Amino acid sequence: MADPSNATTTTQEAVRRPPRVHDGRIKRLMELNFPVAAGNPEKRECRWCGGLYSVGTGNTTLRGHLNNKHAGWDGSEGDPNALHLGLGLASSSSTPQTGHQPSKRHRSPSSSSQHSRTHKKQFTGTMADLAHLSSTALSDLTAKSLQHFTAKELCQLSELSADEYQARLKVIQNKKGFIIDMDGVIYHGNVLLPGVKDFIHWLKKEDKKFLFLTNNSAPTPRELSFKLARLGLSVTEDHFYTSAIATAKFLQSQKPNGGTVYVVGEPGLIYALYEVGFSMNETNPDYVVIGEGSSQTFDKISKAVNLVYKGAKLIGTNPDVNGPTEGGIAPATGAFCAAVELASGRKAFYLGKPTSLMLRYAATILGTSKDETCIIGDRMDTDILSGVYAEIDPVLVMSGVSRPEDVRSQAYRPWVVCNGVGEVVPREA
Ligand SMILES: [Mg+2]
């Protein structure tokens, strides 16, 4: 994401020094989302306003539509949040059909000659436009890379007949409370998954109670709310529940008058513990709490080992031993706790999925009984297992890490298996 400070960059500066805003990604998404269909004109619906534009001469028609129909995408001098983006979108046709040319006030002498040589456009929009553009179109990119299972295959994975499958899906649709995992269900990294917007819209329209649940103890609910906002979803922070909050609630239940902790983790965990009356102590804490984060060091783990060895109780916010990164996997809370357990000879107590405690806390917040609640997740070994432990019907979505062999190899199984959360929404909704 571009540095927000660039939002005040003048037009000429932007032309000389385009902000670093995913040039390659935007170009790729335009290729994927709005492909050239030469000789086969058709109407497409604009993702931003629902208006129709022609496909047949490449991306130029879309750009023409955007520039003509959307305030802020062009000539946005009056908009203080406007950001001029040098996207480098070379036109596939030398003359744009709907004829947008960068206005003269957007040109510099050097950029003018560049435009005439390469037909590149200056793309003008707000930061919100950019975030929406990226998330919306890249969700289609993700959709192309997701494996799609047929209705028959989903029935087989669920070990149900077609009628039984529909009956079970109906049961889920009639639930009052929804506990929803995030990564692999709502998004992959910074990419919104297909069907999520419809699902969230349906939850709100039907006045369902819902809570996003994550084993990640690092972010605060506010940060998670901001993340979804960047992906184009408006969800208030009271709809998020992290393993840090579950850990804090558990420790509060153990020491209602507060206590002391040594934390190896991120601000989201420290903040949650402060909120329930715990203070930090590096000398003789009641608990050593280990959570997610990339700031763990040998010194911190060594201190944790010694404090536990001297009598502090060891708590892990979640048992995950690793997590996905761009470069592969990285050690997670469970791995660091294991190091402390081995070195100190003491066992940790874990919160987070697949323990049922976190789900029970979440259901309490929703105010729904276990029969009125379901959990939707993408992992058999955490989301689905926690549902089994808590006796809350688990829905597996195949948009995340679990593969068919993961489903078939376990003794427990989900209540029903879907491709993604969009399939939970009734067809007529
Ligand atoms: Mg997940």
Residues with Cβ within 8 Å of 225's Cβ and at least 6 positions away in sequence, in order, are 235, 236, 237, 239, 240
User: Which ranges of 310-355 would DSSP assign to H, the alpha helix?
Assistant: 333-344
Instruction: Confirm whether 183 is a catalytic residue.
Output: yes
Q: How far is Cα 390 from Cα 384, in angstroms, rounded to an integer?
A: 10
Give residue 391's identity as a one-letter amino acid code: E
Do residues 289 and 263 make contact, with C-beta atoms less than 8 angstroms apart? yes
Give residue 378's identity as a one-letter amino acid code: D
CA of 170 to the centre of ligand 1 (A): 23
CA of 183 to the centre of ligand 1 (A): 4
Give residue 319's identity as a one-letter amino acid code: P
Mean pLDDT on 293-307: 94
Q: Is pTM, for the whole model, over 0.75? A: no
pLDDT digits (tens, 9 = 90+) for 70-79: 433 332 322 2
CA of 180 to the centre of ligand 1 (A): 9
CA of 40 to the centre of ligand 1 (A): 41
Percent of the chain at pLDDT exceeding 70: 65
**Of 181, 286, 378, 393, catalytic:** 181
**Of 74, 129, 183, 393, catalytic:** 183
Residues with Cβ within 8 Å of 38's Cβ and at least 6 positions away in sequence, in order, are 56, 57, 58
Residues with Cβ within 8 Å of 238's Cβ and at least 6 positions away in sequence, in order, are 221
Instruction: Confirm whether 393 is a catalytic residue.
Output: no
Q: How far is Cα 339 from Cα 210, in angstroms, rounded to an integer?
A: 36
Mean pLDDT is lowest, of 74-88, 189-203, 369-383, 389-403, for 74-88
Q: Which two tokens stand for residue 42?
A: 């058709």
CA of 299 to the centre of ligand 1 (A): 31
Cα dihedral value 111, 114, 118, 120, nearest 10: -10
pLDDT digits (tens, 9 = 90+) for 175-218: 999 999 999 999 987 889 999 999 999 999 999 999 999 999 99
Per-residue confidence band for 43, with pLDDT thresholds at 50, 70 and 90: low
Query: Domains in the chain and their CATH numbers?
Result: 4-142 (no CATH), 146-215+354-424 (3.40.50.1000), 244-350 (3.40.50.1000)
Give residue 43's identity as a one-letter amino acid code: K
CA of 136 to the centre of ligand 1 (A): 20
